[in-house]
Amino acid sequence: MAEWIYFLHPPRDDFAVTMGDDERAVFAQHRAYLEEILAQGSLILAGPTGGAVNTGIAVVEAPDESSARAIMDADPAIAAGIMRGELRAFRATFLRGRF
């Protein structure tokens, strides 16, 4: 299984503190989605970056790029068009507990 990282690029600076009600509702779905793919074993880690630009990251395991892209595209924050997704191949070379 290969690792992939996807970035969730926000629509504006300080997005985390300026979200409207509709955006918050989508982000509740986004959180539920991440919890679901974590429970299924696809998600390795996810979270937002701090500071003025709140880029999110998710590291997932998938057999190929099209499968990883399907995981990313199904993320409600991306599917709703709030965040712009960017997928890249990734290798978790140094990961605590995995040597």
pLDDT in tens, the chain (99 residues): 899 999 999 999 999 999 999 999 999 999 999 999 999 999 999 999 999 999 999 999 999 999 999 999 999 999 999 999 999 999 988 888 765
Angle (CA) 36-38-39 rounded to 5° is 65
Q: Is residue 59 within 8 Å of 45, Cβ to Cβ?
A: yes
- Domain with 56 in it: 2-90
pTM of the model: 0.93
Q: Does residue 98 fall inside a structural domain?
A: no
Look up the CATH number of the domain holding residue 66.
Answer: 3.30.70.1060
Looking at the 3D structure of the chain, how many domains does it have? 1
